[in-house]
Structure 1
């Protein structure tokens, strides 16, 4: 890496040259594992469920995307000769697709029949589109025809019922851009954009399919593919439709990066790491962003450097590992293989802004999470964002995003800890399934703790310096009868500063049931120079105000071993209202939460809390739900 430039980039020290070097290094490290013809990159590691040949294509296609962004952004400059390797690999891989030889790419089939190559077809197509003058236009006709035929497999097979429909859309966009469009490509574009429209929920957020999955796929897929297509095609109609949505998305999403550069750890596929910055980069490239160029680069470089400084690319081989900082099994999904982390390449969309662009020439400015404390309610996805400038922490309170597909009911098997917890942050990750769940309210029945699967949002809002979000769920049990008729939990989170007021009403409790609430999972002892404290205080309905400390030996993505606070209650009635105050802070020696807030009234239908520092009153009513603070609805 070149020397840091702290005058231009006072927060990260990184410049555009650092980005180019990072892209080159990641691609070159992966190419050490190329097959002789260069069609597959067989990276070491446990294979995905799709098999090693699909994994080899995945690594090839995703690193090609990094090389394409890097080369296109430099006006075709390719000092490492990377495009020549990819041209040779394209020729070798498409010579006999589906053959069991050393080079041939797997066929693109339906998503449920080893369908992973459809995902990679989008990276291949987008890479070819970005590098057309220096790669595609220099191929002989036979290779171009074979490549088109392989890519058309994405147009002729069934994607998964979510963002996958943007993969044939991207393939079709490329084919049309090189004069190979027809009715088949038109249908793929129409189908993709039509579904995207039906998934738009507002506040700049798309659902990832027909359900209520709101996560990082918004940035690195649902915004990226259609808006980048519109930008490359110069399609003013699409730019005017999708550009303002990205701008609105970034109003909230930009708050979900901590002062240390980390994105909030929430949702699946977090092994894609700095791909979380793709939406920020796309906004800067297209001009559809509320952020200044200096703030955009602060977020982008902070996120990229956050992971590279912490060993995401191995010191010995330079490969991105399957995990978060290093390998981390609990972060992964079964579809992840050794090449999967290279979807991180999408962050390099920022390199499409040329060297003279303000994204690279303006001085860095603070990230939004480094400014004044912020609270932002996002009613459409049911999310509540909370940041504190003193420690640069960002937190996401989840009252609307789950990973339950529309045809699935409330079953234990639909629970996903990457979505089912009450809160997520930029310094903590969810505990593993076999450990005590963090940030979770559970009902204990016969020794079995309930889980939160399908989340039903009830609203979100707030005012100056405070905000709230609410939801309800039906507790389900992994062992024994999965449900208790009539059992229901309504949860409300109200935030001010670093504090989270958590109000829960549990109805339909069976006899002898207990209720447990946990807080944030943190390392058992704060790392030197990086304090992190999780606090939880019972205010009403709990067995006592002070929590018990419990252990999570499998740790989180951030720590090998974790502890978390837990409150317990034995209501003895079929309805209980429970109130607690939680806090996650990186400030050294934080004051205890005792005395910050006091419950002044509570019954089955409502709870009222007075904040002692200023006398403000928060009131939560349940029938119907209403949240007020200091008299403001």
Structure 2
């Protein structure tokens, strides 16, 4: 007797059809497939030696608050990431090739991402008067020297590791914003030590990003950051300055919702408000305090009034795209210690940063000198097609802000203050978003309720399965599951019982 249900029969037939079609496409069009294969898809990057021991040592030190001071723990954390970035650096220094899953944009762009997303952390480290040359695992790392080498070679069209000319909607625009910002932050250590011709070369590459077609969301802030940083570094261009003024005003008028929150198409409202939008606005305020000063500080303050309730000693509920950026979530809380101190004290900023990093380090989110490609460990159900191994270094943004601010305020020496959920249970609602946060003091659970989704079905995560692997094997490009429904359309997200939690 045949016990296969019609639905199982259909799935089996569908699988055969899909695999058959893929096989035919291989036989008939291998040359076409090879042309669309992602750059560097078959390249395998080895993890550096003794990675397990190094990861274990990080946990031993960073998680032990009794034996080690806050400054010592975070200095060690920085050196951990610096060592990883150094070990995976290419010969010419312009690319950093981490082990892990490649993105749809290819290995070269991933290598640029890995350079660009670490650079601001090194810049903030330097700006806070920490060591220029660090010694890690018996190796000396001269931070300005290796960064300057990468910058010169990456922006030189004649170099084998040239980052490439910038086109419309180009990922290089995103990475150029981090590079421009880092040059401004570390100007006394890096920019001011370049020759005039080298400065011209770097500025010329960065300026390629201006007046290009961009995605109409948080991307608007990238060319603005580039132009304002260059202006502050002595490369003023009146045409570009007027362009970004208009771009900024159009962005704010079109996408600002109120109470510190922005719409971020095409998905809507998510944590990009924290790790991209308010992060960028904070840096614009630092680069040029006359740049819409009142709005930036007021919206920052209003944003954290609600957002500060998101965090507990057991992490926070995640939703939305780019899950692997999760450790950047405390960034606007930390920056508020400087620009919204009435809402966030240095003690609360440090507490929020520390419980978040401790939670994720303890749960194996930091491995092999980098951030994993998931929520805790690697998880391809949650990895967007545009994310490569170095993409997840946007998680460093909370540390970037922390080291910068520590150079201005005694952040690392602050006495930690309790999180809202450590003081009492709560239920708070943001009227602009119609989001509710509920905190349970007893078990440290934080629940995010997206009230517009109250009548929706519950969506679980689709698996990264055999079909995904087969497509990738044949076509040599990412085919990860689309989990947009699970990440945006559920009514409830929890740090305790999340669909995204531990596998």
Query: What interval of TM-score do these two structures reach, taking the shorter chain for normalisation?
Result: 0.7 to 0.9
Matches within 5 A, 1:477-626: 557-560=500-503
User: Which of 257, 268, 275 in structure 2 is aligned with 1:201?
Assistant: 257
Q: Distance in 1 between matches of 2:450 and 2:168?
A: 33
Quote the offset at 1:248 in angstroms. 1.3
> Does the Cα contact within 8 Å between 2:62 and 2:358 map onto a contact in 1?
no
Hey, which of these two has a bigger chunk of helix by percent?
2
Structure 1 match to 2:431? 379
Question: Which consecutive residues of structure 2, in runs of 5 or more, have no partner in the other structure?
Answer: 1-57, 135-140, 455-481
C-alpha deviation, 1:77, in angstroms: 4.5
Quick check: 1:120 aligned with 2:181?
no
| Residues 88, 97 of structure 2: 8 Å contact kept | yes
Q: Structure 1 pair 5/39, CA: closer, same or farther in 2 (3 Å)?
A: closer
What is the SS of the residue equivalent to 1:397?
strand
Structure 2 CA distance, aligned partners of 1:416 and 1:109?
31
Among 146, 167, 170, which residue is 1:85 paired with? 146
What is the CA deviation profile of residues 476-524 of structure 1, one whole-angstrom value per residue up to 9, with x for unaligned ones? xxxxxxxxxxxxxxxxxxxxxxxxxxxxxxxxxxxxxxxxxxxxxxxxx
Residue 294 of structure 1 pairs with residue 347 of structure 2: yes
Match of 1:327 in 2: 378
Mapping 1:27-106, distance limit 5 Å: 27-74=82-129, 77-79=132-134, 80-96=141-157, 101=160, 103-106=161-164
Query: Deviation at 1:75?
Result: 6.3
Q: Which of 303, 307, 315 is the aligned partner of 1:253?
A: 307
Residue 339 of structure 1 and its aligned partner are, at CA, apart by 0.7
Deviation of 1:193 (Å) = 4.1
Give the SS at the match of 1:133: coil
Q: For residues 199 and 212 of structure 1, do their structure 2 counterparts lie closer, same or farther at Cα, with a shift above 3 Å needed?
A: farther
Aligned equivalents of 1:82 and 1:59: distance in 2? 15
> What's the CA shift for 1:126?
0.6
Q: Distance in 2 between matches of 1:14 and 1:425?
A: 31
3-state SS in 2 of match to 1:395: strand
Q: Which runs of 5+ in 1 are unaligned?
A: 403-412, 431-556, 561-633
Aligned length: 410
Q: Give the CA deviation at 1:347.
A: 0.8
Mapped partners of 2:425, 2:130: distance in 1: 41
2:329 aligned partner: 276
Once residues 323 and 128 of structure 2 are traced to their aligned partners in structure 1, the CA distance between those partners, rounded to angstroms, is: 26
2: CA distance, partners of 1:380 / 1:428: 26
Measured after TM superposition, the shift of residue 238 of structure 1 is 2.3
Decide which structure has the larger Cα Rg and report it: 1
Q: CA deviation at 1:358?
A: 4.3
Q: Give the deviation of 1:362 after TM superposition.
A: 2.7
1:17 Cα deviation from its structure 2 partner: 2.9
Aligned equivalents of 1:150, 1:274: Cα separation in 2 = 30
> Who is 2:246 aligned against?
190
Distance 2:97 2:62 in 1: 34
Are residue 307 (structure 1) and residue 360 (structure 2) matched? Answer: yes
- TM-score, structure 2 normalization: 0.76
Counterpart Cα distance in 1 of 2:157 and 2:133 = 29
The structure with the greater share of residues assigned to strand is: 1
The answer as to 2:442 corresponding to 1:390 is yes
Runs of 4+ in 1 over 4 A off after TM superposition: 1-6, 75-78
- Say whether residues 1:285 and 2:342 are aligned partners: no
Per-residue CA shift, 1:332-351, capped at 9, x if unaligned?
A: 11100011110112112111
Using the size of structure 1 for normalisation, the TM-score is 0.61
Pairwise CA RMSD:
2.5
Aligned to 1:578: none
Superposed CA deviations along residues 558-616 of structure 1, whole A, max 9, x for unmatched, are: 222xxxxxxxxxxxxxxxxxxxxxxxxxxxxxxxxxxxxxxxxxxxxxxxxxxxxxxxx
SS in 2 for 1:329: coil
